[in-house]
Amino acid sequence: MKNTKRLMLMNYNYYKEIEQKLELYAKKGLVLEKMGPYLWTFKKTEPQNLKYTVTYFAEGSVFNPHPTDNQQTYFDYAKAAGWDFVCEYNQMQIFCSSLENPPEFETDEKEKLENIHKCMKKSFVISQLLMLLVFALNLYLRFNILKRNPTDFLSSNIDLATLLMFISIILYSSYTLINYYMWYNKSKKSVDMGCSIIENFNKTQRYFDIGYLIFLFSLVGYMFIHLLTNTAFGIIALSVVQLPLFALVFWGSITLLKRRKFSANANKIISTSLLILTGVLYLGFIFYSIPRFNFSERSNKPYTTVGEYRLYSDKIPLTCEDLYGHIDFEYYSYEADEEDTPLLHRSHYSQTRPPMKNSPPELEYSIYEPKFEFVKNIVVSDLTKLNDWSDRKLETLDNAVFSAEKAYAFYYEGSNGIMFSGEYILVFTDKIIHIDADTPFTDEQIEIIKSKLLSGNSKV
């Protein structure tokens, strides 16, 4: 078994940084053996004083079954100059030399810069633009969800984390593109003046890159933990297996076709087609599996069951018994859920029962505590929004009755006149209450609601 160590290096266009890192690792007894899209493999040896040089060759590709004729000529030229070929990934070629002062590998700075730029446009720039396109589309979809259901979105940490992840990736990809083109333009001016290519790496950028990766992995880790604690194991399995499956199909097919000596173009077409086909089949499998298996939301709360209906026994601040007196019914489900985000705290309570004839009353209500005034305005606007396709209407009530800033009641207008539904929106200085009961409230019930939900004991 090979004695190897895998380390991650970033930013393929920071060639000077890569050369310095590889020379430092060699002095520690870690000699580069092969490179991949994310992890590079080092073989443990005795410490060595090796010189490394990173070059870019436009004909290089992960799809090539073997070096092209021009590449082989390039390797022979390097060998004659004292440089041994180590490995390649796409257009990046890495050579090393054990000579104390090996000759410069590329002496024409202008030719070297244009060669780097040509390769970067072929791989790095295209990949960054595709990433921007994909995540911009995802961001657009997230904003559509935010626009349709702003209250639910702003009170969901997972939705806010996903939005933040998409925005950060777009900003970081834009930063890397801008940073590269700034370096290229500065280097072009320097070369035109007879000077060398500008050093394209500094410690500040390195720390920024590392900091962003830590932030991104932390965000993804938080989202994964949220899935583990709030989502059915089936959904978790479908989510976790997706990326490894796609990577296995794509890179596995590339490796297999390279061994079978398929041309680079044939390999690219077949591997990409297999990846797309896998995505379609996987999506079909998800649509097939979800209705047939129990992928319901996980719950760590104790419950009993009546048939397939779950009965919870959470403590809630306002109950049907408070409003209607004693109710002789044993199949009520009392449920409380809370979520606190940097923008909005949401507490949702419900007292429901299984579907049945001659059933007792039900109650459902949410208490929203916005942390900024603009969030409060968004929540009120969302909760009082009326849909064109619905015959539900909204009436402003005397806010003094509820001791509120504003109070609204929903009603329906039928052949027998106006019929109020028992659904209210109550706006206070620090909270908004959305309450939905079977019938409108009496003055006595309103006083009970005020004492239960406005006394400072509404959180349980």
Mean pLDDT for the chain overall? 85
Q: What is the pLDDT of residues 8-21, one digit of tens each?
A: 555 556 778 888 88
Q: What is the pLDDT of residues 140-195, one digit of tens each?
A: 999 999 999 999 999 999 899 999 999 999 999 999 899 889 888 998 999 899 88
Q: Is 125 within a domain? A: no
- Statement to judge: residues 324 and 436 lie in one domain: yes
The first and second tokens of residue 452, run together, are 């239960």
pLDDT of residue 36: 75
Q: Which of 71, 90, 107 is the last residue of a domain?
A: 107
pLDDT of residue 201: 63
Q: Dihedral through CA 232, CA 349, CA 352, CA 225, nearest 10?
A: 0
Range of the domain at 349: 303-453
Backbone φ and ψ of 366, nearest 5° = -130, 145
Q: Which of 237, 266, 289 is the last residue of a domain?
A: 289
- Statement to judge: residues 255 and 388 lie in one domain: no
- Statement to judge: residues 10 and 79 lie in one domain: yes
Q: What angle separates helix 157-192 from helix 109-122, to the nearest 10 degrees?
A: 150
- Statement to judge: residues 284 and 373 lie in one domain: no
Q: What is the pLDDT of residues 47-63, one digit of tens each?
A: 999 999 988 888 888 88
309-312 and 333-340 strand pairing:
unpaired
Higher pLDDT, 302 or 242: 302
- Statement to judge: residues 236 and 260 lie in one domain: yes
pLDDT of residue 303: 83
pLDDT of residue 234: 59
* pLDDT, mean of residues 97-108: 83
pLDDT of residue 458: 45
- Statement to judge: residues 284 and 139 lie in one domain: yes
Q: What is the pLDDT of residues 394-428, one digit of tens each?
A: 899 988 899 999 999 998 876 676 777 889 999 99
Residue type (1 letter), 212: Y
Q: Is 263 within a domain? A: yes
For residue 257, pLDDT beyond 50:
yes
Beta bridge partners of 284: none
- Statement to judge: residues 274 and 166 lie in one domain: yes
Q: Is 121 within a domain? A: no
- Statement to judge: residues 351 and 387 lie in one domain: yes
* pLDDT, mean of residues 247-272: 88
- Statement to judge: residues 360 and 382 lie in one domain: yes
* Cα(231)–Cα(156) distance, integer angstroms: 14
Q: Is 374 within a domain? A: yes
* pLDDT, mean of residues 29-33: 90
List of residues 6+ apart from 4 with CB closer than 8 A: 33, 41, 42, 43, 44
338 within 8 A of 346, measured Cβ to Cβ? yes
Q: Is 13 within a domain? A: yes
The first and second tokens of residue 297, run together, are 């939301």
- Statement to judge: residues 278 and 321 lie in one domain: no
Q: Is 177 within a domain? A: no
Q: Is 112 within a domain? A: no
- Statement to judge: residues 258 and 314 lie in one domain: no
pLDDT of residue 167: 95
Q: Is 36 within a domain? A: yes
pLDDT of residue 459: 44
Domain count, the chain: 3
- Statement to judge: residues 48 and 16 lie in one domain: yes
Query: Structure pTM?
Result: 0.79
344 within 8 A of 368, measured Cβ to Cβ? yes
